[in-house]
Amino acid sequence: MVQVMKFPNLYYLDLHFLECFTHFCTDAVEGIDFPQLQILRFWELPEFQYFWPIDNNSMAGSNPLFDEKVLCPNLEELQLNGANSIAALCSHQLPTDYFSKLKILLLWNCGKLRNLMSPSVARSVLNLQILSIEACQSMEEVITEEEQLVQEMTTKPLFPRLEKLVLEELPKLGHFFLTKHALEFTFLGEVRINSCPEMKTFSLGSVSTHSLDRLIVDYAEVKDNLNKAIQQLFILKEQEACDG
């Protein structure tokens, strides 16, 4: 077995419309290293499971796409579209600098994804500017519930450089992050939350968005607090359903 497969000069990886593509490597390896990779785009790879075959094929669908064995320290842009065999984007326990340079994260039509990442991983994504999640039918929450024994992490900001957030056509999404701790998005200027019928709230705690210029909720521009706007819309939908 090859120890670690390295691609020392690969800056851009773009794979499109490969219906039978299941793995990046045909042989099992101990790890894969993309030291210079800046842009990764996987579009319409419905059978893709992982970067290499794993021993237990029955667990292939639950294997996170990114873990400590997949190294891409300079990744700045990640796009996944139509990756319907991927059930987890990343391991809940990653090195603190794993996604430290990621600026753009776009997900569409990833039918098995139930969440994006854990709070500890999210708080290490220090440079993310654009986050868009669309048409992911199983997505229930963006950030998973706060782990136990992580009080030291709660003071760290979540996506501190986020400028644009898009959540659209997510029929099972109930919230962005179910935490009672205050969230502050200093640079967030645009938020679009459309066709998320089960979304009751953005977060349990307060949400500060001092730079917010545009808030679109269900395709209508709203002049209100982010959390309040989502909560009021959900209440209105429930009332309409009862009246109907």
pLDDT band, very low/low/confident/very high, at 51 (cuts 50, 70, 90): confident
Q: Model's pTM, two decimal places?
A: 0.91
- Other CB atoms within 10 A of residue 51 CB: 20
In this predicted structure, what is the pLDDT of residue 181? Answer: 86
Amino acid, single-letter form, for residue 175: H
d(CA 46, CA 20): 8
Phi, psi (rounded to 5 degrees) for 229:
-60, -45
Q: Picking from 15-24, 35-44, 71-80, 188-197, which range would have the lowest pLDDT averaged per residue?
A: 15-24
State yes or no: pLDDT of 118 exceeds 60: yes
State yes or no: pLDDT of 151 exceeds 60: no
pLDDT band, very low/low/confident/very high, at 150 (cuts 50, 70, 90): low
Residue pair 45/72 in contact by the 8 Å Cβ criterion: no
> What number is the average pLDDT over the span 210-215?
94
State yes or no: pLDDT of 192 exceeds 70: yes
Phi, psi (rounded to 5 degrees) for 151:
-60, -30
Residue pair 148/118 in contact by the 8 Å Cβ criterion: no
CA-closest candidate to residue 101, choices 128, 71, 131: 128
In this predicted structure, what is the pLDDT of residue 148? Answer: 55
In this predicted structure, what is the pLDDT of residue 60? Answer: 47
At 156-177, the pLDDT tens digits run: 889 999 999 999 999 999 999 9
The torsion of the CA quartet 66, 69, 74, 75, rounded to 10 degrees, works out to -20
Name the residue ranges covered by the structural domains of the chain. 1-72, 89-243
Q: Under DSSP, is residue 237 helix (H, G, I), strand (E, B) or coil?
A: helix
> What number is the average pLDDT over the span 137-143?
96
State yes or no: pLDDT of 56 exceeds 60: no
State yes or no: pLDDT of 134 exceeds 90: yes
End-to-end Cα spacing for the chain? 63
> What number is the average pLDDT over the span 202-213?
92
At 74-100, the pLDDT tens digits run: 999 999 999 998 989 998 888 888 999
